[in-house]
Structure 1
Amino acid sequence: MNKDVRLLEDESIDDLQLKNLFLIQKKSGFRFGVDAVLLSNFANIKNKHRVIDLCSGTGIVPFLLYGKYNPKEVIGIEIQDDMVEMAKRSSKYNELEKIVKFERGDLKDISFLNKLGKFDALTVNPPYKLNNSGIINPDDKLAIARHEILCTLEDVIKASRKLLKDNGRMYIVHRPERLIDIFELMRKYKIEPKRVQMIQPNIKKAPNIVLIEGQRDGGAYLKWESPLYIYNEDGSYTKELNKIYGREV
């Protein structure tokens, strides 16, 4: 690792406990959560793949994908300049600048998308909440990460269609209440839903996260995976979640 990489006063560098990888994050503010970990585990990535991650934030998903699957190249796309700069420093710290790369760009910019080329696989952890309150500060970093301020679900899926190779795969994490919107938009842009997994806090609570795999120009066939539970009834993490985090073999 490159120990010359600087940290700002409000930043920490966190051990991902995966292949000796580290991530620079803010000490307070937006930090990655279980969604990113679940998404990287759900994705089916091969070492020959060229992969792109949209709405990349500080770059957590690209680093997890690299650590788990060792793809040929992973590019993270993010619209917020400070997030991109932070992600690039993480890549430099991990000495992965030639493999795990980050670009500042707007998913609505077709000329920008054209320059990126085509990808075997695409991951995205987009903003979940509809921006319909009218009171959100557009400069609020947390709001941008959580609300559809700078891009909508349709912008994400339209861009995914543009970026994927023929039969390329898209992997998205979202909220179950948006499932119909996701399916409708995927079919609108000819990305066929192929696999779905619901994530539940525990066996007694309703799902609060959904993982979806789609295939560009794929045939109609949808597989439902068994649900994944985060917590046991006593509040401890389930064996399945501990395996995803690498705490159990």
Structure 2
Amino acid sequence: MKSGETVDELKKYGLRIIQERHGYRFSLDPLLLCAFAAPAVGARVADLGTGSAIIPLVLARQHGQATFVGVEFQDAMADLAERNVLLNDLGDRIDILREDVLGLRKCFPVSSFDLVLSNPPYRKRGTGKVSPKIGRDDARHESTATLTDFLATAKYLVKPAGRICFIYHPARLPELFAEAHRQKLAPMRLRLVHGTAEAEARMVMVEFAKGRRADLAVLPPLVVRGAGLDYTPEVAEILGIEMP
């Protein structure tokens, strides 16, 4: 560990995660995406913008025969990801690649992965508030790579009939669907995430397929907190929290 870092436990998954005490810290969103995506047995999985590697770490614990590549262009976050992989003894199944999404075509042949995941930056550069926390703006705001770039790279990386799963902001859902249609990616599943049953959706999870067509399945909404603002049973199960 370095000065200014914490180690946080995800007991359900047997993980210890090093994070910046006052920098960018993972949220609930990547854990929801892990539950939504569920890779097949023996799948090869890429995570675009892996941050501290929370997505490959959780999925590696859940799916013992899958292998992972976490892509991260911020050096500080990539360093955290590499140390988290070592800390949890998963170096034989998770590789961390220090690379921009725009540069991945030179790193992998086309159709190298069964599943591509991403929790991409959802704010356009120059919009929203500037965060004082190190790394948060690069995690939330598009920098070198845009939504179009993330989708195009995911399409390049995934095998024919493979799956692409994103968690994104619902305000940009029309843009996400329009760009996916332009790139001939078929939407297969959609699930909205609500903070409470009465609140507007705060995130959306979408699965796209390359080289397949099917009717879009709109799943029941995922509600994070119920009465009294306690976690709902589904979210508590994802987090490994015992319900009273």
Q: Does 1:205 align with 2:199?
A: yes
Partner of 1:245: 239
Task: Give the CA RMSD over aligned residues.
Answer: 2.1
Structure 1 pair 93–116 and aligned structure 2 pair: CA distance change class (3 A): farther
Q: Confirm or deny: 8 A CA contact 2:19 2:52 kept in the other structure.
A: yes
Partner of 1:179: 173
Deviations 1:5-26 (A, max 9, x none): xx00111121111342211111
Aligned residue type for 1:179? L
Q: Does 1:152 align with 2:139?
A: no
Aligned residue type for 2:93? I
**TM-aligned CA deviation for residue 117 of structure 1:** 6.1
Partner of 2:210: 216
> Identity percentage over the alignment?
29
Partner of 1:4: none
User: Which consecutive residues of structure 1, in runs of 5 or more, have no partner in the other structure?
Assistant: 1-6
**TM-aligned CA deviation for residue 71 of structure 1:** 3.8
TM-score normalised per structure 2: 0.92
Q: Confirm or deny: 8 A CA contact 2:34 2:58 kept in the other structure.
A: yes
**TM-aligned CA deviation for residue 235 of structure 1:** 1.2
Equivalent-residue separation in structure 2 for 1:91 and 1:190 (angstroms) = 35
Equivalent-residue separation in structure 1 for 2:129 and 2:240 (angstroms) = 41
Partner of 2:2: 8
Q: SS at 1:169's partner residue?
A: strand
The correspondence for 2:222, drawn from 224, 228, 231, is: 228
The correspondence for 2:99, drawn from 86, 92, 105, is: 105
Q: Does 1:128 align with 2:117?
A: no
Q: Confirm or deny: 8 A CA contact 1:113 1:159 kept in the other structure.
A: no
Equivalent-residue separation in structure 1 for 2:173 and 2:110 (angstroms) = 28
Partner of 2:64: 70
Partner of 2:189: 195
Deviations 1:57-112 (A, max 9, x none): 11111111112222431110011111111111111111111101100111112543
**TM-aligned CA deviation for residue 174 of structure 1:** 0.5
Partner of 2:87: 93
Partner of 1:54: 48
Equivalent-residue separation in structure 2 for 1:135 and 1:233 (angstroms) = 31
Q: Does 1:165 align with 2:170?
A: no
User: Which consecutive residues of structure 2, in runs of 5 or more, have no partner in the other structure?
Assistant: none
Q: Confirm or deny: 8 A CA contact 2:82 2:96 kept in the other structure.
A: yes
TM-score normalised per structure 1: 0.91
Partner of 1:3: none
Structure 1 pair 124–111 and aligned structure 2 pair: CA distance change class (3 A): closer
Q: Confirm or deny: 8 A CA contact 1:121 1:168 kept in the other structure.
A: yes
Partner of 2:36: 42
Q: Confirm or deny: 8 A CA contact 1:91 1:100 kept in the other structure.
A: yes
Q: SS at 2:148's partner residue?
A: helix
Q: Confirm or deny: 8 A CA contact 1:52 1:74 kept in the other structure.
A: yes
Equivalent-residue separation in structure 1 for 2:126 and 2:28 (angstroms) = 26
Equivalent-residue separation in structure 1 for 2:143 and 2:192 (angstroms) = 26
Q: Tell me the number of residue pairs that the alignment of Structure 1 and Structure 2 aligns.
A: 242
Instruction: Please identify, of 209-218 and 231-240, the stretch whose mean Cα deviation from structure 2 is larger.
Output: 231-240
Aligned residue type for 1:58? S
Aligned residue type for 1:8? K
Q: Confirm or deny: 8 A CA contact 1:51 1:119 kept in the other structure.
A: yes
Q: SS at 1:234's partner residue?
A: helix
**TM-aligned CA deviation for residue 220 of structure 1:** 3.6
Equivalent-residue separation in structure 1 for 2:129 and 2:82 (angstroms) = 32
Equivalent-residue separation in structure 2 for 1:134 and 1:226 (angstroms) = 30
